[in-house]
Amino acid sequence: MAEKFVITGGKPLSGSVLVPGAKNAALKLIAGCLLTPEICVLNNLPVISDVSKMLSILESMGASIERQGGNSVSISCADIKPQEINGTLVSQLRASVVLLGPLLARFGEVRLPYPGGDRIGARPLDAHMRVFEQLGAQILSWDRILHLRAPKGLVPGRIILPEFSVTATENALLAAALLPGTSEIKIAAAEPHVQDLALFLGHLGVDITGAGTHDIIVSGKPALSGAAHTVIPDALDAATFLICALATRGRVLVEGAREDHLILVLEKLREMGAAISTRKEGIAVSWDKPLRAVGRLQAMPYPGIPSDLQALFTVLATQASGETQIHDPLFEGRFLYLQELARMGAVVEQRDSHRAMVRGPAKLSGTTISSFDIRAGAAMVLAGLVADGETIIEGIEHIDRGYEDLDGRLRNLGADIARI
């Protein structure tokens, strides 16, 4: 039977919580291990189902994976057979698209089922196609099967992305890492997990400059070494707990949270009335006065407000005085959760596929609701934490894909949440 969360709301969160490794960094680092036959050790991997799936995909191709103590994994990709990849797992994991870069660069050909993922609308892979075309690959199929070939090898050169695509930037980094010569990535994404991937590739022996900017230069090598690397803390996880603490009128220290990864997020929370302090061990937040609406909140590429936090900010806005316009130009399916919030009593209105309006403060009441994707699922948990009465959340397998022991960590902060 499917698991559910049962939440009795109205309890302020209090205490400290530790941020695990970043999901969006970990998945790309695992893919990066395919670039070398040498052993790589990844530390601080989050214990989530998406990471387990990515490791299983590598194992299906012949990788030797040893799960060490704590959150560390040793990965050896000395004997890889790309043709034996588990297509079922690939089709369930959107991030599996970043397997294209290392497999094509190392083996000269790759066939990958179309990657799956969250229900957040159309997410075309055109930017990835542009990357590989500019590196000299032949696109044999780009529909249900992604089939690419480079009989004479990829050719380093200039890559101009059509947008700030995070995964396309990462695919470009991964592919260019094995190409002797210099590749330049223009219009590159600058997210922290892109920077973390570049740092890992540097450990393998690749010379990379400009990571964290929109112009990255990669000097690749035909053979790379192994390395040990520690995954950065998850900024989205940290922001989730900061927002949950504020919405429940609590006081929480988020250990390991990095201010430099959350600059605009923290500023928006301060605008809404949060008291925030940064410390050596992390970031502390407390509720000291009634929340106020910020008027307009727009999801943007880093260092802006991540689209992944849009749903959590929307729930927070239901508890703030005034009207908030939510604008998410990145994905047209990010507002599926609004119908669930409305059923709980929120005053929300979807203006179009990219814009919504929230008016608060609203008194939310518990009911049975569904989780549609990882981040909307976390937002539904937040709604349950602030609602009166009991909230039952179905579809929590989506939440487990991206959050390590979310319910357990919330219970440690005083939340009344059970997994059944």
- For the stretch 153-191, pLDDT in tens is 999 999 999 999 999 999 999 999 999 999 999 999 999
With CA atoms as reference, report the closest residue to 20 among 61, 56, 51, 62. Answer: 51
The token pair that represents 405 in the structure block: 């022991």
Task: Identify whether the C-beta of residue 289 lies closer than 8 Å to the C-beta of residue 270.
Answer: no
What would the pLDDT profile of 298-318 be if each residue is shown by its tens digit?
999 999 999 999 999 999 999
pLDDT of residue 117: 53
pLDDT of 119 reads: 45
Query: Over pLDDT 70: what percentage of the chain?
Result: 98
Query: Is the confidence at residue 370, as pLDDT, over 50?
Result: yes
On average, the pLDDT of the chain sits at 95
The string of pLDDT tens digits covering residues 326-360 is 999 987 778 999 999 999 999 999 999 999 999 99
Distance CA(165)–CA(162), nearest Å, equals 8
73-76 and 39-43: which strand pairing? antiparallel
Helix (H) or strand (E) holding 397: helix 397-402
pLDDT band at 59 (very low <50, low <70, confident <90, very high): very high
For residue 106, name the pLDDT band (cuts at 50, 70, 90).
Answer: very high
> Would you list the domain boundaries of the chain?
5-19+233-419, 23-230
Q: How far is CA 213 from CA 87, 143, 145, in A?
A: 34, 32, 32
Tokens of 217: 């230069």
In this predicted structure, the answer to whether residue 122 has a pLDDT above a threshold of 50 is no
Four-residue CA torsion sign, 330, 333, 339, 341: negative
Percentage of the chain exceeding pLDDT 90: 93
Residue 69: pLDDT band with limits 50, 70, 90: confident
What tokens does 280 get? 């050596």
pLDDT, residue 118, reads 46
Cα distance between residue 190 and residue 265, in whole Å: 16
Alpha helices in 13-125 (DSSP H): 23-32, 49-60, 87-90, 100-107
DSSP structure string for 115-171: P---SSS----HHHHHHHHHTT-EEEEESSEEEEE-TT-----EEE-SS--HHHHHH
- Confidence band for 120, pLDDT divided at 50, 70 and 90: very low
Average pLDDT score over residue span 91-100:
95
Class at the top of the CATH hierarchy for domain 23-230: alpha beta
Question: Residue 148 has what pLDDT?
Answer: 98
**Dihedrals φ, ψ of 358, to 5°?**
-125, 135
| Residue 123 scores a pLDDT above 70 | no
**Crossing angle for the helix pair 23-32 and 166-177, to the nearest 10 degrees:** 20
The amino acid that residue 37 corresponds to is P
Domains 5-19+233-419 and 23-230 share a fold: yes
Confidence of residue 386 (pLDDT cuts 50, 70, 90): very high
Q: Is the pLDDT of residue 35 over 80?
A: yes
What lies within 8 Å, CB to CB, of 106 at 6+ separation is 34, 35, 80, 178
Yes or no: is domain 5-19+233-419 CATH 2.40.30.20? no
Residue 393 has a CB neighbour count (10 Å cut-off) of: 25
At 116 the pLDDT is 74
Q: How sure is the predictor about 70, in pLDDT bands with cuts at 50, 70 and 90? A: confident
